[in-house]
Amino acid sequence: MPNAGSTGDLAPEAEPVEASLGAISLRRFDLTDLPWVLEIEGRSFGAPWSAASFTIETSRPSSVSLVGELDGRPVGYAIFTRYADSWHLMTVAVDPRARRRGVARTLIDAGLEAIGPGPVTLEVRPSNSAAITLYEKLGFVQWGMRPGYYPDDGEDALIMWRGDPSEAGVPGEALSKPPRPARQ
């Protein structure tokens, strides 16, 4: 699998992306990022990952782990990992003070580019409309539910896929239609 285990040419030479409010740049996640990552994680999730979870996930050979900076300040992260036949977006979060500036979108776009073609999946709480809107904008479609997936409160997970899940041996039909291409 080309690019597996690294972000390739992505960081740290990535070109800054001009967003409406600030310049976004990307680099690879490093374990020295843990203190601020854990702070954002704690402010973003009811059941945050621990330092050990980040260490394990970002150390996997197939991990593509990115940090997003806004005007030079680290404000978000996204972690992709390959399991069996498909890539999984394991987590993404952005500092609440830096949201709606395109950081998550830039992180996920860059991760998708780094991992290359092939199906990508994720789980998201059906109540997380912000994340679902973001994922749908990036081409993910709603595929199914995993009942009682989240251990902290038993909420179901919505499964989303980008690309063709049958390539990963996943049967079934999408629950939602792929987004229409943006108008030129």
Ligand X SMILES: CC(C)(COP(=O)(O)OP(=O)(O)OC[C@H]1O[C@@H](n2cnc3c(N)ncnc32)[C@H](O)[C@@H]1OP(=O)(O)O)[C@@H](O)C(=O)NCCC(=O)NCCS
Residue 150 annotated among the catalytic residues of the structure: no
Does 92 bind ligand X (CB under 6 A)? Our answer is yes
Which amino acid belongs to residue 19? Answer: A
Sign (positive/negative) of CA torsion 150, 142, 136, 29?
positive
Please state whether 8 falls in left (phi above 0), alpha (psi between -120 and 50) or beta. left
Which of 21, 56, 130, 175 is the binder for ligand X (CB under 6 A)?
Answer: 130
Q: Which residue has the tokens 């780094």?
A: 114
Size of the site for ligand X (CB under 6 A): 18
Can you list the positions of beta strands (E) in 29-72?
64-70
User: Of the residues 123, 149, 150, 155, which is catalytic?
Assistant: 123
CA 10 to chain centre: 16
Residue span 52-91 as binding mask against ligand X, x where in contact by CB under 6 A, dash where not: ----------------------------------------
Q: How far is the CB of 66 from ligand X (least distance, A)?
A: 13
Under a CB-based contact definition with an 8 Å cutoff, are residues 117 and 163 in contact? yes
Active site members: 123, 135
Query: What does the binding site for ligand X look like in residue numbers (CB under 6 A)?
Result: 44, 92-94, 99-105, 124, 128, 130-131, 133-134, 137
